[in-house]
Structure 1
Amino acid sequence: MAIFGRRQPQSFTEFKEIMRPTPDADGVTRVFPKELWDDPKIGKFLQEVGFAPDDARNILPTAEDYIALFAAAKKRLDERTEAFNREMTMRHGYCRAVPFLVIDHTIWDGEHGAFLYAQLKLIGYDDWNVLMLAADVRTKEACDLAGHPGTVPAVTEVMTKRVIDWKQRYDLALEAFGVTATGGQGIIQGMTREQFETEQDDLRREIVDNVGWMKPRIIGELLRIQG
C-alpha cells in the first residue's frame, strides 16, 4: 500500500519521515498530520488508540509558544530567587543568592534540549533543576551556602551523557509505538499507546529524581573545593 505516493513504512523511523514539522493546510502544526487520518490503516489505528487530529497532545507548540513558556518559567524563577533572598536576609542579615541549573543552559540550548522540553515537558527554570548558591563571599559566609561556580564542566559533561542516554531510550519507545502504529515488522516489538505514555512518564520521573540525587553531591563537592 502506498501512502501519499510512498510505500507503506515498515518502522516509525520511516513513519516520521512523512510526518513533516510544517503546518497543515489550516496553519496548525501537528504531530500526526491531518491527512494521515485519510489512510485506511494508520487513520484507523490512530482512532482506535484514542487520537484525534485536534487533540491537544497532537498539536505542536509554535516557537512563540515556547518563548512564552520559557519567559513565564524564568519569571517564576526570578520571583523564587527574590523570595529566597528576602527570607535568608531576615534570618542572617544579608543574602545574595543566584540560581544554578543542574542541567545547564548549554544543554537546554543545544541539540538535545528540545527532547527535554518538547517531548518530556520539562523546563529547566523549574525548581526540580535549580540550586540556590551564593553570589558573593559575604553570602557564602553569612548564609552557609556554597559559592556559585558559574558553570561546572564536569557536571555538564555527566548530564549531557545522561540526557543522550535518556533520549535514546525515548527514541526506542517511540520506535516501538511506531511499529504498532504502522503495522511494520522489525527487531523492535510493538508498544501500545498506554505503554508508551507510561514509559514517557517513567522517564520524566527518572530525570527529575536523578537531578534531585545530584543536588546534594554538587553542593558537597563545591563546599569541599571552596573550603
Structure 2
Amino acid sequence: MFGRRTFGKQKHSFADLKKMMRPTPDSDGVTRVFSKELWNDPKIGSMLRELGFAPDDQRNIMRTADDYIALFAAARYRLQQRTETFNSEMTARHGYCRAAPFLVIGDTIWDGEHGAFLYAQMDLIGFDDWNVVMLAADARTAQLCGLPAHPGSVPAHTQAMTGHVIRWKKRYEFALEEFGVTATGGQGITREQFEAQKGALRQEIIDTVASMKPRAASGS
C-alpha cells in the first residue's frame, strides 16, 4: 500500500516505523518518538537524518503525562485569572457581573478518545482564548451586562463538535501517511509540505471555533 525503502534484505514501511515509536523513556530519562537505539542503527538513523530529524530535535521529544498535567493546570489557572479580571472589569462598568467560561470544544471531547489529537498533534489547549467565550452565569448578569446565558452542557453541540474533530483527525492522519510514503522511499509529500498542511489544519480548527462562538453562546 505504501512506498518502501529497502535496507539490505530488510524492508521498513511507515507502519513499521510507527511500531518502532515507543512512549517509554530512554536511559537518560527522556521519552523520544524514535528512541536513541533507533538512531544508533546505521540504516534507520541515516534515513531519519535524511528527513531532517535529530534525536534531540524538539519534534522527537515526547511530553510525558506529568508534562501534560502541568500544562493543563497552568492553562486552567490562566483561564481562572482571565475570568476574574473579566468579572471585575464588567462589575466596575455595570455594577454586577458573574460570567463563566464556555468551551466551544468542551471538556468531554478533550478528555475523550480524540483529545490527544488536539493537544498532542495540534498543540492546542482548550482553556486558551481561542476556544473560550464568556457567558452569563445568572439572569442578573445577562440583564445588566448584555451577555448571552451560559447554556451549560449542550449534547447536540458536543456531537457536532465531535464530528468536526474526527474529520480533522482523519485529515491529519492522511497527511501523516503521505509523509510516511516519502519517509520510506515512495512518492508522497515532503516534510515541508507536511508541516504546511499541519499548520493550515491547526489554523482551520481555530478559525472554525471562532466562527462557532456566537452559535455556541446561543446554545444552538
Pairwise same-fold verdict (TM > 0.5): yes
Q: Tell me which residue corresponds to 2:105.
A: 103
Q: Tell me what 1:192 maps to.
A: 190
Q: Pick the aligned partner of 1:69 from 68, 71, 76.
A: 71
Provide closer, same or farther for how the CA distance between residues 61 and 26 of structure 1 changes in structure 2, counting only shifts above 3 A: same
Aligned residues: 215
SS of the residue corresponding to residue 169 of structure 1 reads helix
Per-residue deviation, 1:48: 2.5
1:149 aligned residue: 151
Instruction: Report the counterpart of residue 122 of structure 1 in structure 2.
Output: 124
Letter in 2 for 1:215: K
TM-score scaled to structure 2, two decimals? 0.91
Q: Could you tell me how far apart the structure 2 residues matched to 1:7 and 1:109 are?
A: 40
**Deviation of 1:18 (Å):** 1.7
- Per-residue CA deviation, residues 140-196 of structure 1 (Å, 9 max, x unaligned), is 11111111121111111111011001111111111111111122x5xxx51211111
Instruction: Write the letter of the residue equivalent to 2:16.
Output: E
Aligned to 1:89: 91
Q: Cα distance 1:43–1:210, how it changes in 2: closer, same or farther (>3 A)?
A: same
Report the counterpart of residue 33 of structure 1 in structure 2: 35
Give, as a single letter, the amino acid of the residue that structure 1 aligns with 2:11: Q
CA RMSD, Structure 1 to Structure 2 (Å):
1.9
Structure 2: gaps spanning 5 or more residues: 1-5
Partner Cα distance (1:20, 1:109) in 2: 22
Task: Give the distance between the partners of 1:194 and 1:13, measured in 2 at CA.
Answer: 21
Partner SS, residue 141 of structure 1: helix
Q: Distance in 2 between matches of 1:177 and 1:25?
A: 29
- Using the TM superposition, give the Cα deviation of residue 31 of structure 1 relative to its aligned residue in structure 2, in angstroms: 1.2
2:209 maps to which of 201, 208, 211 = 211
The answer as to 2:142 corresponding to 1:140 is yes
Q: TM-score, normalised by structure 1?
A: 0.89
